[in-house]
């Protein structure tokens, strides 16, 4: 679909600098831009490419100040990254929508199905489960008994949702997600082996949540593991039993959250972060990648980094010292020997 700079600027409430009639039919990365494509600049790291890209139209923030001539047409917007997301959403919505129920599905007679569904082959839907309108369920999805799934959800192939779990509206679960597997609960016995603790709770996922591929969210021992509205979980994340993740929190890949930890609203968590169990993370906390969180975090005025996690600036200073530890160790040993010699001479 061809679209002109003038049309784009009107749709995005932007201001044009350059040829308003230039048109594009695709989107490209700024460093790989080609004629006839739209690109964007949001990260200053990529600013040098704006002068060399061959893209025809570039979305930039209104406060962008060029240092030299730019060949492409610019569209200045309040937030280039958000505008790109808006355009990509529009493109995605224009794709043909799957519909209909495959001939090789297993749906219990007590299940309640909404309207305008897509259910792919080899999907299983259990007893007394309810699926909302406009939801798309791709092949090889297992939905247990008494599961509730809201409207306009997308469940990609290979997802497993265990009995009694609840999925809200407008949720997206990527391939391989497992919702409601048993939490890791075992009681040590005097004989040295372990007694399994039955996990009789469930998982509640509220509206507008997206969960990345092969992420697992365990059911609660009692009560519910809760992922609140607007949360975005990346791929390969482990959420243990009775964890609670607050609204609009985002968590990057390979993070592990131990049981009964509570993470607040609007937090940002980097990749490979490990959370100990039974701790509380306040609203608005930011945590850098590969950090270890062993205690409560309450101060949202500073990001945290390291293991155990400390304020990021303090971690940066400590890293400099750590890098110099071999030399410092050598100097300390040298000074110790000199002091011993001095003591001998004094005696």
Name the residue among 58, 49, 65 with its Cα closest to residue 19. Answer: 58
CA–CA dist 29, 45 (Å, integer): 13
342 φ, ψ (degrees, to nearest 5): -60, -45
Annotated catalytic residue within 241, 278, 280, 300 = 241
Active site residue 300: no
Q: Do 105 and 111 touch, CB atoms closer than 8 A?
A: no
* Rg of the chain (C-alpha set): 27
Q: Do 41 and 22 touch, CB atoms closer than 8 A?
A: no
Is the torsion defined by CA of 144, 145, 148, 151 positive or negative?
A: positive
Q: Which residues contact 126 (CB under 8 A, 6 or more apart)?
A: 108, 111, 143, 144, 145, 146, 147, 163
Element (H, E) at 80: helix 80-93
**Which CA distances in Å does 152 have to 145, 167, 216, 240?**
20, 11, 22, 27
CA 69 to chain centre: 37
The residues annotated as belonging to the active site are 241
């Amino acid at each position: 679909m061809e679209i002109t700079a003038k049309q784009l600027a009107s749709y995005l409430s932007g201001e044009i600098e350059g040829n308003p009639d230039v048109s594009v039919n695709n989107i490209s990365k700024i460093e790989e831009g080609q004629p006839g494509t739209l690109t964007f600049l949001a990260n200053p790291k990529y600013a040098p490419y704006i002068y060399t890209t061959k893209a025809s139209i570039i979305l930039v923030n209104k406060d962008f100040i060029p240092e030299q001539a730019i060949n492409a047409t610019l569209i200045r917007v309040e937030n280039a990254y958000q505008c790109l997301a808006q355009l990509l959403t529009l493109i995605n919505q224009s794709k043909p929508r799957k519909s209909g129920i495959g001939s090789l599905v297993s749906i219990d007679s007590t299940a309640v199905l909404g309207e305008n569904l897509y259910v792919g082959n080899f999907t299983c839907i259990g007893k007394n489960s309810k699926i909302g309108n406009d939801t798309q369920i791709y092949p090889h999805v297992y939905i247990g008994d008494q599961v509730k799934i809201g409207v306009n959800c997308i469940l990609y192939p290979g997802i497993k949702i265990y009995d009694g779990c609840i999925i809200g509206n407008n949720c997206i679960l990527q391939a391989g997600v497992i919702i409601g597997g048993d939490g890791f609960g075992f009681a040590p016995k005097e004989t040295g082996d372990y007694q399994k603790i039955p996990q009789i709770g469930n998982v509640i996922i509220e509206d507008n949540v997206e969960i990345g591929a092969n992420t697992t969210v365990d059911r609660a021992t009692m009560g519910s593991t809760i992922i609140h509205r607007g949360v975005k979980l990346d791929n390969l994340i482990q959420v243990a039993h009775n964890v609670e993740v607050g609204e609009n929190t985002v968590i990057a890949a390979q993070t592990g959250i131990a049981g009964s930890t509570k993470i607040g609203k609007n937090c940002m968590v980097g990749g490979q972060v490990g959370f100990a169990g039974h701790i509380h993370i306040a609203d608005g906390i930011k945590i850098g990648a590969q950090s270890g969180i062993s205690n409560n975090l309450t101060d949202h005025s500073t990001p945290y980094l390291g293991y155990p996690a400390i304020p990021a600036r303090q971690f940066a200073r400590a890293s400099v010292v750590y890098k110099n530890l071999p030399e410092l160790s050598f100097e300390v040993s040298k000074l110790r020997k000199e002091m011993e010699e001095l003591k001998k001479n004094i005696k």
